[in-house]
Copies of this chain bind each other. A is one copy, B any other.
Amino acid sequence: MDYTESFLEEYLESFDRLKRKDRLQSSLPLPTMSEIKNLTVSLMALFFPGQRETMDKAVLKLAVSESYHKASSILMDAAFKAIRYESPDKSQDLCLEEAEGYIKHLTAKLPEIRRLLKLDAEAGFDGDPAARSVHEVILCYPALHAITVHRVAHELFREGLPIIPRMMNEIAHSQTGIDIHPGAEIGESFFIDHGTGVVIGETTVIGKHVKLYQGVTLGALSIPKKDTLSETETKKRHPTIEDNVTIYAGSTILGDITIGHDTIIASNAWIKDSIPAESMVITARPEIKVRPIRREE
């Protein structure tokens, strides 16, 4: 239609004008969210292969091998794109070699990750009176999905793979409402109940047997970015949560503080200072007034 052509010209000129400033468009493609989504699907199947017709050892090997090859094939392709995008001057051979390096590293870690995920699933079962079986936890609890994606993304993030770990966690965030930065270090037997609204920041460190409820934030105090960019990238800005800590719904823990081991934090607490081990943290509840209603507010 008539307005189409003039629109396209003007719209494309706007790319030119804006590109000079920050080159939002690179000349090479990044992996897409849907590729990374398929990666997370293959990883779930790799760790929890219980969907095929029978699970005798022979068939299990078939299923696991298939999921492994699918996941590593997607990751290989995506890692190659991400590395090349980040460093357009690297040779293609070098990009591929590095991509294969990430696969090798991750492959070596898979048995350990699976061991951790089984402990996470058991922690979920032990911690929720409504859970009927470990299988229900694996199938139906968003936390296990988010943690599975995180444990893989974290390994790749630590090794320095660009952008893909963040994409992985954002996919899990979109599906579960649980937002875990791939930089966070999380110990074994971790669980989150319900989970919507949980935020776990980049430099968070979490010990063993920690349990969170929905709406918990493990965040940073606000830091102006401009002046401290290189510093903020390395500096610890988020809490350390020691072993056996439980944090109830809606609590906010901010800054590089430490919540000592075997501590319980009640819901809706707001904490900016370290808490000693074996504490019970109770919030003084805001008083409520109950008065007979008169149908207006």
Residues of A that sit less than 8 Å from B by CB: 1-5, 7-8, 10-12, 14-16, 18, 22, 24-30, 32-33, 48-62, 64-66, 68-70, 73, 76-77, 80, 85, 91-93, 95-96, 100, 104, 107-108, 110-111, 114-115, 118, 121-122, 126-130, 132-136, 138-142, 162-163, 166-167, 169-170, 173-177, 179, 181, 183, 194, 196-197, 199, 201-202, 214-215, 217, 219-223, 225-226, 228-229, 232-233, 237, 246, 248-250, 252, 262-264, 267-271, 275-276, 278-294, 297
Contact = CB atoms under 8 A, between A and B. Distances in A.
Given A1-B4, A18-B118, A27-B54, 12 more contacts: A1-B5, A3-B107, A8-B65, A14-B115, A22-B134, A24-B50, A62-B76, A66-B76, A173-B196, A174-B176, A217-B250, A275-B290
Nearest to A166: B140
Stoichiometry, as copies per complex, reads 6
Given A167-B140, A293-B279, A61 B96 contact: yes
15 contacts: A3-B107, A11-B110, A15-B57, A24-B135, A28-B55, A58-B92, A61-B96, A62-B76, A62-B80, A65-B76, A66-B76, A69-B69, A142-B173, A177-B177, A279-B291
Contact of A64 (B12, B49, B56): B12
Given A12-B60, A27-B55, A55-B26, A297 B222 contact: yes
A227 B165 CA distance: 40
Contacts of A139: 30, 33, 163, 166-167, 170
A132 B270 contact: no
B278 A111 contact: no
A170 B194 contact: no
B51 A14 contact: no
Contact of A202 (B8, B57, B91, B130): B130
A170 B140 contact: yes
Contacts of A133: 163
B50 A29 contact: yes
B217 A249 contact: yes
Contacts of A15: 57, 60, 64
B276 A290 contact: yes
A10 to B, nearest CB: 5
Contacts of A22: 118, 122, 134
A111 B6 CA distance: 11
Contacts of A48: 24
A280 B287 contact: no
B29 A53 contact: yes
Given A92-B59, A108-B3, A279-B291, A29 B51 contact: yes
